Structure 1
Amino acid sequence: MTDSTYYKAINWNAIEDLIDKSTWEKLTEQFWLDTRIPLSNDLDDWRTLNATEKNVVGHVFGGLTLLDTLQSQDGIDQLRKDVRTPQELAVFNNIQFMESVHAKSYSSIFSTLNTSEEIDEIFEWTNTNEFLQKKAKIVNKIYQSGAPLEKKIASVFLETFLFYSGFYTPLYYLGNNKLANVAEIIKLIIRDESVHGTYIGYKFQLGFNELSEAEQEKMQDWMYNLLYELYDNEESYTETLYAGTDWIDDVKTFLRYNANKALMNLGQNALFPDTADDVNPIVMNGLSTGTANHDFFSQVGNGYLLGHVEAMQDDDYNIGLPKDK
């Protein structure tokens, strides 16, 4: 007989990287669907918001929909091309599906809270806002033509930094005991994105640590220049998104705090002086509050029994890699 392997079966009993296995288990443990969250229970809270607040909420979720669409349709597809192990490819398959779940979840929120005319306006705004479109263009250009490590940097910046201009709003309302079920979806998304950002950052670090010192310095320069470019645009996006509110400075602080978290995922030093102590405590309270118990089958409550939604702690970003050279 001749040895003529045409196609290799994935063998989960021969793990090359234990982080692949632990991430797969974490992501599957966290599985959820938006249809299990009783969003209609938030209608009374929704009616108490003024027109400016409702407009902000709609545009926030429109922007988040666009970013999750980018990640599910282009971002993860590009990252799948540069995997180290077959199990890593399986993890990315899981991540890609959940990014589609995230994008779909916002439409569940729209269909519950908004009229069809309002939904049309939200997507028209999303598809034409210059700053939202610019950040999608910057990130997707890297996805389409960047080097493998550059793609991972762009993905981590998207997952751990750029989403948070939008996440601020539902966390703020949750901290004020409003829109709890809407915020529940966001907290489930944040829980997913925390794992995604940490995992992709870990894979970046593996490649980064294989570079020469000169190559590392060049990559770091590119990384920080990209962050400056994205943050500059994100400031403008925040100013348009939150026009008419007094939240703009607080949102920018929250963005800088999460930009540092993104750098931490990548094994790099923080850029901004902002810490958790500088973030609006109402938002941090919303971010750190665990979910209530949720019966997956009866939809009682608004939290899944299979796991609590919690904020990522600093130690969660340390997944055992050696320090940079």
Structure 2
Amino acid sequence: MSTYYKAINWNEIEDIIDKSTWEKLTEQFWLDTRIPLSNDLDDWRSLTPAEKDLVGKVFGGLTLLDTVQSESGMDQLRKDVRTPHEEAVLNNIQFMESVHAKSYSSIFSTLNTTKEIAEIFEWTNTNVYLQKKAERINEIYKNGTPLEKKIASVFLETFLFYSGFYTPLYYLGNNKLANVAEIIKLIIRDESVHGTYIGYKFQLGFNELPEDEQTKLKDWLYDLLYELYENEALYTEALYDEIGWTEEVKTFLRYNANKALMNLGQDPLFPDTADDVNPIVMNGISTGTSNHDFFSQVGNGYLLGTVEAMTDEDYQF
């Protein structure tokens, strides 16, 4: 009888990176419901109205990007997998992107009124710069080549999220909103794995191309990054000009754009390094979790791993 459908066999691994990534992602599993966000209410009340407005908007923007990634991105990437195990990893990534998107709503429900939440989502769904980057990435997901889709995914995961991540990391570095930032650090930990894994899969395909096609794709890649950065700079200005953080955030963006290029096996574009990033934000990244016993309700063996600082090694296999 001919085979209609093949069962996935995890005892025969074609690419060991599939197995190691699956194991890392499952070890990192977490849920927003186990983090005591209400403990941040005193810090929240101490923020100015402009700061509260900023927090709502950056989390609204992050919700939109995670929605794009969970609903469209992984669905498109699954069409071009090299191994059945890669598809399983992408299934895991898709689920966690949905967890990320839901996490922001948990933050909103803790910190904001119903009216404020509605205003945040209205802003998110109509902001021209936010909608433009969502549209640009999603159009590549729908119409791009398999390698172009992977480029778009890595740029989203390792670059475009970071205009939003800056705010909670800044507050964490100043000992504020620790539990909100805990969620962000867990998300960053996930995105670091997602970006390196998809970047690795890109490099496999890229290295198989003839030299002239590699050159053409690299030109496309850098043109896309320039385009995204120009829009991201405008988005950053709209978010941060009022409280004066704009140039610091742009530095952070350029630093992470270089990380995205590293994930894709390409040379950095910007001169910015970790030393140029606001040390308060880098301190926020490097601060460990508060070690809440989030998972005590489901058994002593089910423990949340420690969030560690990102290093260059996180961006390469």
Report how many residues are paired.
313
**1:223-247 CA distance string (max 9 Å, x none):** 0000000000000000111131110
Secondary structure in 2 matching 1:242: helix
Q: How does 1:194-205 map to 2 (within 5 A)?
A: 194-205=192-203
Instruction: Pick the aligned partner of 1:110 from 108, 111, 119.
Output: 108
The runs of 5 or more residues in structure 1 that have no matched partner are 320-325
Output the CA distance in 2 between the equivalents of 1:272 and 1:82: 31
Secondary structure in 2 matching 1:274: coil
**Which 10-residue stretch deviates more, 285-294 or 5-14?**
285-294
Partner of 1:122: 120
8 A Cα contact 1:160 1:193, kept in partner: yes
**Which 10-residue stretch deviates more, 237-246 or 278-287?**
237-246
Secondary structure in 2 matching 1:4: coil
CA drift of 1:130 comes to: 0.2
The code of the aligned residue for 2:292 comes to H
Partner of 1:157: 155
Secondary structure in 1 matching 2:270: coil
Partner of 1:133: 131
Secondary structure in 2 matching 1:244: helix
8 A Cα contact 2:28 2:190, kept in partner: yes
8 A Cα contact 2:192 2:315, kept in partner: no
Output the CA distance in 2 between the equivalents of 1:317 and 1:62: 26
Output the CA distance in 1 between the equivalents of 2:98 and 2:78: 16
Output the CA distance in 2 between the equivalents of 1:294 and 1:72: 27
Partner of 1:30: 28
CA drift of 1:221 comes to: 0.1
CA drift of 1:146 comes to: 0.1
Does 2:63 correspond to 1:65?
yes
Output the CA distance in 1 between the equivalents of 2:61 and 2:45: 22
Output the CA distance in 2 between the equivalents of 1:44 and 1:111: 15
**1:259-290 CA distance string (max 9 Å, x none):** 00000000000000000000000000001111
8 A Cα contact 1:294 1:305, kept in partner: no
Output the CA distance in 2 between the equivalents of 1:105 and 1:317: 24
**1:195-221 CA distance string (max 9 Å, x none):** 000000000000000011111100000
Output the CA distance in 1 between the equivalents of 2:155 and 2:309: 17
Relative to its length, the structure with more helix (as a share) is: 2
Output the CA distance in 2 between the equivalents of 1:241 and 1:117: 20
Q: How does 1:171-190 map to 2 (within 5 A)?
A: 171-190=169-188
CA drift of 1:298 comes to: 4.2
Partner of 1:79: 77
8 A Cα contact 2:295 2:304, kept in partner: no
Q: How does 1:237-252 map to 2 (within 5 A)?
A: 237-252=235-250
| Percent of paired sites with the same residue | 82
The code of the aligned residue for 2:205 comes to G
Partner of 1:15: 13
8 A Cα contact 1:205 1:266, kept in partner: yes
Partner of 2:313: 315
Output the CA distance in 2 between the equivalents of 1:52 and 1:130: 20
Output the CA distance in 1 between the equivalents of 2:238 and 2:222: 24
Using the size of structure 1 for normalisation, the TM-score is: 0.95
Does 2:207 correspond to 1:209?
yes
**1:106-159 CA distance string (max 9 Å, x none):** 000000000001001000000000000000010000000000000000000000
Output the CA distance in 1 between the equivalents of 2:39 and 2:296: 15
Output the CA distance in 2 between the equivalents of 1:224 and 1:311: 28
Instruction: Pick the aligned partner of 1:292 from 290, 293, 310.
Output: 290
8 A Cα contact 2:163 2:249, kept in partner: yes
Output the CA distance in 2 between the equivalents of 1:69 and 1:219: 27
**1:46-103 CA distance string (max 9 Å, x none):** 0000000000000000000000000000001000000000000000000000000000
Output the CA distance in 2 between the equivalents of 1:309 and 1:298: 18
**Over aligned residue pairs, what C-alpha RMSD do you find?**
1.0
8 A Cα contact 2:193 2:314, kept in partner: no
Partner of 1:51: 49
Output the CA distance in 1 between the equivalents of 2:137 and 2:313: 28
Partner of 1:322: none
8 A Cα contact 2:169 2:281, kept in partner: yes
Instruction: Pick the aligned partner of 1:169 from 167, 170, 184.
Output: 167
CA drift of 1:306 comes to: 3.3
